[in-house]
Amino acid sequence: MARYAPSGTPSGTPFCLAAARAQTGGMVGRVRRGFFWVLKNTLNRGALRLARRGVGPFYLLRHTGRRSGREFEVPLILAPVADGLVAELTYGENVNWYRNVVASGSGTVLRGRRKWRVVAVEPMSAEAGLAAFGGAPAVVLRLLGKREFRLLRTASDGA
d(CA 153, CA 31): 35
* pLDDT at residue 53 in the model: 85
Examine residue 9 and state whether it is found in any structural domain, yes or no.
Answer: no
Examine residue 20 and state whether it is found in any structural domain, yes or no.
Answer: no
Nearest to 93 by CA among 26, 149, 153: 149
* pLDDT at residue 39 in the model: 66
* pLDDT at residue 10 in the model: 47
Examine residue 97 and state whether it is found in any structural domain, yes or no.
Answer: yes
Q: How far is CA 116 from CA 37, 51, 72, 113, in A?
A: 29, 14, 16, 10
* pLDDT at residue 22 in the model: 52
CATH number of the domain residue 38 falls in: 2.30.110.10
* pLDDT at residue 3 in the model: 40
Examine residue 78 and state whether it is found in any structural domain, yes or no.
Answer: yes
Residue span of the structural domain in which 34 resides: 26-158
- Cβ-contact 45, 73 below 8 angstroms: no
Report CA Rg, the chain: 20
What are 90-113's pLDDT values in tens digits? 889 999 999 999 999 999 999 988
* pLDDT at residue 47 in the model: 82
Examine residue 2 and state whether it is found in any structural domain, yes or no.
Answer: no
Tell me how many domains the chain contains. Answer: 1
* pLDDT at residue 36 in the model: 66
What are 59-81's pLDDT values in tens digits? 999 999 999 999 999 999 999 99
Enumerate residue ranges in the chain where pLDDT < 50: 1-17, 20, 159
* pLDDT at residue 81 in the model: 96
How open is the CA angle 77-45-145, to the nearest 5 degrees? 35
Instruction: Fill in the DSSP letter of residue 55.
Output: -
* pLDDT at residue 41 in the model: 67
Q: Give residue 21's identity as a one-letter amino acid code.
A: R
